[in-house]
Amino acid sequence: MICNPILPGFNPDPSIVRVGEEYFIATSTFEWYPGVQIHRSTDLVNWRLACRPLDRASQLDMRGNPDSGGIWAPCLSYADGLFWLVYTDVKRLDGNFKDTHNFVVTAPTIEGPWSDPIFLNSKGFDPSLFHDDDGRKYVINLQWSHLRGSHGAKLPHPAFDGIYAQEWSVDRGLFGPVMLLSKGSALGLTEGPHLYKRNGWYYLTMAEGGTGYAHAVTMLRSRQIAGPYAFHPDVHLLTTKDHPEAELQRAGHGQIVETPEGLTYHTHLCSRPLKGLAERRSPLGRETAIQKCVWRDDWLFLEHGGPVPAVEIPAPVDVQPEGLRALRRRFDDEVLPEEFQWLRTPFPERLFTLTGEALRLTGRESIGSWFEQSLVARRQEHFVYRAETTLTGFAPETYQQAAGLTTYYNRYKFHFACVTTLDDGTGDGQRVLTILSAANDYPHGDLSFPCDPVPIPEGEISLAVEVDNARQQFFYNLGDGWEKLGPELDASILSDEGGRPLVGFFTGAFVGMMAFDTSGMGMTADFTRFDYVPEGAA
C-alpha cells in the first residue's frame, strides 16, 4: 500500500512525471533556497530527494521577496531527451498586483546540469509546459487581473482571470494566438493548470477554491487544444471542501501520471490539521499525496469512489514503506546535509560555511529579514519530534548579536531560543540564554519575550526543542543534563492558519540554527551537530 502523504512536511503543488521506470515529483519551495524540490521513486511508495535545481544567481535570486513569495507551483516534464522545469518567481503577492515572472530550465538528467533560464512571461503564476504528440509545445498559465472591483466585479473571483495557453518554442518564444481555455467553475480561484492527452482528448486539470479548506482539482476535456472544454460529470475530480471529517484536508492541485503497466495515479497537495484544536492549523504545511484513479467513459475518477482522497491506496508494486528514521548530523565535512535549506539568497557563503568541524553561521540581518538572514533549517515532517544542536565558539559582545535554535514559519511566526548578552557593547557583558517569539503580530512583527534571561558561562551549550502537536518546549544543557528553558509555547502558530488575520501565507514549519548580528560586525557562531528525531524513529 501507499500511505499518504508520500512527501510529508512542506511539499506543495506536486508536479509528477515518469521517465522509464522512475517517477519524479517537483514541489514548490517559495522563499527557501535552493529553489524547487525534486524527489524520485521507482515504486510510488518510497521517495528520495533527487535535487534542488535552482541553485545559482542566474537562475534564482529571491533577496527582497516577501514571505510566501518566490517559487510557486513548478511544472516538471520530459521530452526530446530533456527534463523541462517551468517555474514562477513571485516578487509581490499582496494587494491588487502580483509580480510573477515565469521561466524554463532544462537538463539531460535529473541531477543536471540545469541550464540558465529562458524567460516565458509574467502574465500570471502557475505556468505549465505541455508537449503535444505532434512535437509542438504550449505554455499554459493563469492570467492575473489587477482590475478586481472594477469591470471584472461580475466574476466570482475577478483577479483569477482564467487559464490561457499559447504556443512556444525555444527559438521563437511565445507565438501564435493566445487561447482562453477556461474561466473555471463556480468554485473560482482557478489556477494550477496542467494539460494531459489520452485517446484523442485533451484533459485540462486545474486547482480551484484557493489553497485552503475549499481546495479542489477540477477536470475538463476537449477534442481540440483550444477548446471548447467541457466539465467533468462531477466537476471536481478530488476535493475535501464538503468533508471536514476527512484526514487529508485542503486537497487539490496535482497532476496525472501513468505507470508502465497503464495504471493511472493523480498527485495532489493536502494538509493534516492538528487534532483537538478549535481552529484548524497544520504546521506541517501543504504536503504531497497521491491517489489511484480509473478511467470510465474517458473521464478520470478516484478508484475508491467519490472525491475525498484516501490515506492508503494500492501501490503499483508490492513494496514495503520505509520506517521512520532519526537523522543525526555532524558537521564534520564541507557539504551541507541535503535536508537543510536557507532563505532567499543565491550567495550562501555570506551566511554560512562548513569548516570541516562545524557549520559556521555569520550573523547578518535580523530573524525577520527578507534579504540576508543566517538561518539554516530543515522541514518539520512529523507532529511529534525532538531536535538538538550544539553551539560552540560564540561570545556575543552586544545584545545585537544572538545565535541558537529556532522553530520557524516566517518573520511573523517563530520561536527562537538564543544565546546573547544584555550588554550594549560598552563592556564585558554576561552571556544569557533567552527566547524571542513572534506569534503572528502581522503586519508589525513585534517580539515577545516568554522567559527571563538565564545567565550562562562561556563555552559550549546544547539546545533542544520538543514538539508535540500544538505544544513545544525548549531545553538547554551546559554539560550537567537537560533543563527546561522558559514556558511551554504554542507550536500551532507555525502554520498557514496560525494567528489572525489569515494573510495569505502558505509554507510550513521549519526547525534549525540561526544567528544574527544587527550591529553589522558579522559575529560568527559554530554549530557542531544537529539531530532530528521523530517519535518512534529507529
φ, ψ of residue 259 in degrees (nearest 5): -80, 165
Please answer whether residues 315 and 2 qualify as being in contact, where contact means their C-beta atoms are separated by less than 8 angstroms.
yes
Q: Which residues pair with 376 in a beta bridge?
A: 513
Rounded Cα distance, 256 and 448, in Å = 46
Of these residues, 191, 287, 372, 388, which one is catalytic?
372
- In our burial notation (b when 16+ CB lie closer than 10 A, e otherwise), range 492-526 reads bbbbbbbbeeeeebbbbbbbbbbbbbbeeeebbbb
Burial of 33 (0-12, 13-18, 19+ CB in 10 A): buried
HSE-CB of 401 using CA atoms within 13 angstroms: 22
Give dist(CA 52, CA 27) in Å, integer.
10
Is 531:326 a contact under the CB 8 Å cutoff?
A: yes
User: How many Å apart are CA 283 and CA 272, to the nearest integer?
Assistant: 9
Contact partners, residue 210, CB within 8 Å, separation at least 6? 189
Residue 356 is placed in which grid cell? 570541516
Closest CA to 408 of 262, 507, 504, 271: 507
Residue 312 annotated to the active site: no
Q: Which residues contact 190 (CB under 8 A, 6 or more apart)?
A: 142, 157, 160, 162, 163, 182, 183, 184, 206, 207, 208, 218
80, 206, 192, 176: which is closest to 132 by C-alpha? Answer: 80
Q: Return the biggest CA–CA distance within the chain.
A: 79
**Nearest to 469, CA basis, from 442, 441, 449, 488:** 488
Q: Give strand pairing partners of 534.
A: 385
Q: What is the DSSP string of 494-523?
A: SSTT-SSS--S-----EEEEEEEETTSS--
**Hey, which bits of 299-412 come out as E strands?**
299-302, 312-313, 327-330, 342-343, 352-354, 359-362, 374-379, 384-392, 401-410
Positions marked catalytic: 372
